[in-house]
Structure 1
Amino acid sequence: MRFIWQLLAVVVISMAGGQATAAVDGNPWLQLVIGGLSAVLAVLLYGWVVRRTEHRPSTEVGREGAPAALGRGVLIGAAMFTAVIANLFVGDYYEVDGVASPSGAAGLLGFMAAAAVTEELLYRGVLFRYVEKLTGTWIALLLTALVFGGMHLLNPDASLWGAVAIAVEAGGMLGAAYVATRRLWVPIGVHFGWNFAASGVFSTEVSGNDTQQGLLDSATHGPVALTGGDFGPEGSVYSVLFGVIVTIVFLSLARNRGHLVPRRRADRQAALAKLAR
């Protein structure tokens, strides 16, 4: 029931925020405000329901050190996507025709903040934590990455390769970011930095979704393997490569910090008890 209550809380605030954002479609400044408020309320509600159901401090969304951790995550996510675009630009597969819509970028700032927060609370804060308690870190990373990638098959212009790419470069990487830090701020930051760079700055498709125009008036063309085609640069081999590299770095940090939870039940319970302290 703890899992159900936490899952319901995040789903409800996600749906409410999505409906509110859709209601002001076309007004980027209201999108910015509503998206930002949805993100803050989602974190507060998650923290409250975890404290009520698990009778412990919700340390994974604790305020101490949160701005710095969030900022690091944003920089990592934005730098990763910028590296993808840089490779496409050098290969003449991405071109910029000027500035498009700064106000549209502001609206996407709020929209992507709400999306990043609610998805990380759901997939890493709820789903990953509970699966890890049952199976250990490695199986939890695999299963939740597959679920995260599979859910993107519901997106417009989705493809099997796109879902696999998301599972590897995002599902696995964001799970690894949580394991390395045992907090949700870095994965939230990485998720937001990547999505906002993709949509709000470089004006590309995000997981098959053709979002409103961002800061740059741009176009992507060329081999699907490199550009991701209609799915967007998240389906690019560059994205998968950079995602794998960052995942390895996060997992190395997790191992060095003793944050990996083993599969064997007795060892798993001891590791979880140690992490809880």
Structure 2
Amino acid sequence: MKKMSAHKEKQHIGGKLSTGRLLWRFPIIWMIVGTIGIILVDTLFRPLAEQAKGVASLLLTLTAVIVAIMVFRLTMKYLARRSIPEISRKRAGIEAGMGLLTGAIFITVSTLIIVAAGGYSFQWASTADTGSVLISSITTALNAAIIEELIFRGLMFQAINKLAGNWLALAVTSLFFGAAHLGNTGATLWSAFAITIEAGILLGAAFLWRRNLWFPMGLHFAWNALEGLLGIPVSGHSTAGLFTVKVNGAAILTGGDFGLEGSIVPVMVSLLIVIPMLIGAARNRVR
């Protein structure tokens, strides 16, 4: 009898442990835990990076993003209990480089269209400290690209995809990404919708197509860094760039105080990029 009781007790404890493990492996749980961990890292390091200057600020940001990637890896390995091909070192440089090129083309084309339409005019900022502007733009863009992609495409997209598939994951993460920018300076319902399409769907499609985080991180980084260097507000955040920008015309063309992302132009340009990406993603699934 004692042996049977001991056996039942072990089964009971084992059952509790199994239930506990299953709970942690539930997608919404590891998504929330991982997101909290990454936000805590960002909350700890960002004020230090903002107080520091020059190279010290860049080094602190690099440290923050490395720690954030480690948090993502640990979350996926020990809570989600899955492999992490999306953050593999294999082809990381090539994928990030492709993303950088895509993001640079996207912002350059969008800006040139607005310039041609008379919405922007640029003048070299002769008083700008080129070194400081470069480091500031790189630092800010690097933090946003890595942290946001880890949370939105790395955790949220994959958790929802696990539960409901690619298309719902793309829709939900895009909507959340747009809503997350509503508190920014100059934000409106239109700018949130624009961000949902031109950023949320574009970056989600980039992840679906390439099936790694390096490509959307590179795209996101080039987007923000180039805007910062041009002196265009990045999602409502004013930056001291290498140029001073004179804005003319309706906000639907120029984006107003929100910056380029509030313009209809990048929304249209992004759709031209998204469509072939989604076609490529669909073909990859068939293979």
Normalising to structure 2: TM-score of the pair? 0.84
Match of 1:206 in 2: 234
Q: 2:36 aligns with which of 8, 15, 38?
A: 8
Matched residues in 2 for 1:43 and 1:215: separation?
31
Q: Which residue identity lines up with residue 71 of structure 1 in the other structure?
A: G
Match of 1:246 in 2: 273
CA contact (8 A) 2:161 2:168 kept: yes
Q: Give the Å deviation of 1:227.
A: 0.5
Matched residues in 2 for 1:74 and 1:37: separation?
21
The one-character-per-residue Cα deviations of 1:95-154 (angstroms, maximum 9, x if unpaired) are: 222143311221220121011100000011111111111111111111111111011001
Q: 2:195 aligns with which of 166, 187, 195?
A: 166
Residue 51 (1) aligns with residue 80 (2): no
RMSD of aligned residue pairs (Cα, Å): 1.7
Matched residues in 2 for 1:82 and 1:220: separation?
17
SS of 2:181's equivalent? helix
Match of 1:228 in 2: 255
Structure 1 spans left out of the alignment, 5+ residues: 260-273
Q: Which residue identity lines up with residue 262 of structure 2 in the other structure?
A: G
Matched residues in 2 for 1:180 and 1:133: separation?
17
Matched residues in 2 for 1:245 and 1:53: separation?
38
Matched residues in 2 for 1:229 and 1:13: separation?
32
CA contact (8 A) 1:221 1:229 kept: no
Matched residues in 1 for 2:197 and 2:231: separation?
23
Q: 1:122 aligns with which of 147, 151, 154?
A: 151
Match of 2:13 in 1: none
- Sequence identity (%): 31
Match of 1:135 in 2: 164
Q: Give the Å deviation of 1:4.
A: 2.8
Q: Give the Å deviation of 1:240.
A: 0.1
Matched residues in 2 for 1:194 and 1:115: separation?
11
Structure 2 spans left out of the alignment, 5+ residues: 1-28
Matched residues in 2 for 1:169 and 1:226: separation?
15
SS of 1:217's equivalent? strand
| 1:1-277 equivalence runs, <5 A | 1-24=29-52, 27-99=53-125, 100-102=128-130, 103-199=132-228, 201-211=229-239, 213-258=240-285
Corresponding residue pairs, total: 256
Matched residues in 1 for 2:60 and 2:278: separation?
35
